[in-house]
Amino acid sequence: MLLNATTNHPILLVHGLFGFERIGPFELFHDVKQALKAAGAQVFVPHLSAIHDNEIRGEQLLLQIDTVLRGTGATKVNLIGHSQGALAARYAAALAPHNVASVTSVSGPNHGSELADFLRKALVPGRLPEVVAQNVATRFADFLSLLSGQKALPHRALAALGALTTEGVGNFNDKYPQGLPEVWGGHGAEWVNGVRYFSWSGVVPQFEGPSLDPVQSICRALSEYFITELAQNDGLVGRFSSHLGTVIRSDYSLDHLHTLRRASGQPAMADDAISLYVEHALRLQAADL
């Protein structure tokens, strides 16, 4: 039996760092988008800079929200942002709440990333490693844009990294605090300026032995660089750092990248990321969003 998860407003899936809509036959949000469409939702994936700061990506998102509204005749959109995409979604909702029905943060670094802090400290400003890292990351992002065949957008690797550190996101939060918890690890306001805020995230699955999924192995290795949220992170973002608005759950057994897709060789009883998006569309539907 097919679910009816048709929402009042279109859903925009907003990608994070090094994200894209499509490269050849491969779509970043393919499984998520297909599952939502099969459930009756109207879904779009905006084209944003693969690497840049939160405000620049947020401005790009605002332009594409306008395009979707004009093209569909809708009055508002539901934004679901993965990783840094959550910060772009928050920016858009803060500046144009009349165009946004809801913001959902999925594995969003809403209080910064300890991994970004570690990387920023490792790259001494002006020294060769920083210059090399910036050039490599920026050229890789330019290459992704070329492969995607879409309009080239600006890329700034160090701006993106700085925007994801605890300090960088702290500065962002001072300007755009909508939906943030007042207590560490708590829930934030459900409604702000007519926009409904939600979040969910996971932690790196705990099991003995090596993982058969290379992405999961990478996230497990990166998770060891966390101090404040050691064993309570998804490899890139800490569990409590991800909290925003109504926290649906922040300890799904899912690493950062597997909140976008199913893990290969996934156990039958493991959390299913794709189902979470469909469940959330039903939640939006129930809330008349």
What does the pLDDT read at residue 146? 42
Please tell me which residue in 234, 255, 271, 272 is annotated as part of the active site: 234
Q: What's the pLDDT score for residue 115?
A: 83
Provide the residue type at 199 as one letter. Answer: S
Indicate the pairing of strand 26-27 with strand 43-44. unpaired
pLDDT at res. 193: 98
Splitting the chain (289 residues) into consecutive groups of 10 residues, what average pLDDT does each group show?
86 82 59 93 92 93 97 97 96 98 97 84 53 45 44 71 89 98 96 98 77 76 89 94 97 91 59 92 97
Instruction: Reply yes or no on whether 256 is catalytic.
Output: yes
Q: Where are the alpha helices (DSSP H) in 99-244?
A: 114-122, 128-148, 157-164, 166-175, 214-222
pLDDT for residue 2 = 65
Catalytic, 155? Answer no
Backbone angles phi, psi at 13, to 5 degrees: -95, 115
Q: Indicate if 31 belongs to the active site.
A: no
How many angstroms separate the CA atoms of 142 and 154, rounded?
Answer: 8
**pLDDT, position 288:** 97
Residue 100: both structure tokens together: 């946004």
pLDDT given for residue 233 in this prediction: 95
**In the prediction, which pLDDT does 268 show?**
47
**Which among 82, 256, 258, 280 is annotated as catalytic?**
256
pLDDT value for 3: 79
pLDDT value of position 215: 75
* Domains in the chain, CATH or no CATH each: 11-286 (3.40.50.1820)
Q: What is the pLDDT of residue 123?
A: 60
Q: Residue 127 has what pLDDT?
A: 46
Residue type, 258: H
Helix (H) / strand (E) element for 191: namely strand 191-192
* Predicted local distance difference test score (pLDDT) of residue 144: 40
Distance set, CA 63 to CA 73, 161, 256 (Å): 15, 23, 27
Q: Which of 49, 83, 102, 199 is an active site residue?
A: 83
Three-state secondary structure call for residue 12:
strand
